[in-house]
Amino acid sequence: MAAKDRTGSRPEKRQQFGTPPARDVGTAIHAAISRGFVVGREVLVGTVPGIVVGYNIASFGNFMGHAYPLVIRTAMGVTKCSPDELSLV
């Protein structure tokens, strides 16, 4: 029985081209900071007051950092948000 020829890739896995996710996350965080969303800043999530407590660096999952770069603490808990969902107080 002959050994399988290994090419180092799986046929079912697609190759992804473009910007690596880490760079997209960094760009999104930098854009949010330049818009004034820095740690400690008071914001409104809709009508709910909150505070920016950090930045989301996740590169996989449901709430990835490039789409939701800000971590906000409100009276209802902690959430990840896009700068477009927030307004500065």
pTM, to two decimals:
0.75
Give the pLDDT confidence score for residue 19 in this predicted structure.
Answer: 60
Q: Which residues are registered as beta bridge partners of 62?
A: none
Residue-wise pLDDT tens digits, 52-73: 999 999 988 999 999 999 999 9
Name the strands in the sheet holding 70-74, side by side, starting at the edge strand that comes first in the sequence.
Answer: 77-81, 70-74, 48-55, 42-45, 86-88
d(Cα 60, Cα 68) in Å, to the nearest integer? Answer: 12
d(Cα 83, Cα 67) in Å, to the nearest integer? Answer: 9
Domains and CATH numbers, the chain: 39-88 (2.30.30)
Q: What number is the average pLDDT over the span 17-33?
A: 82
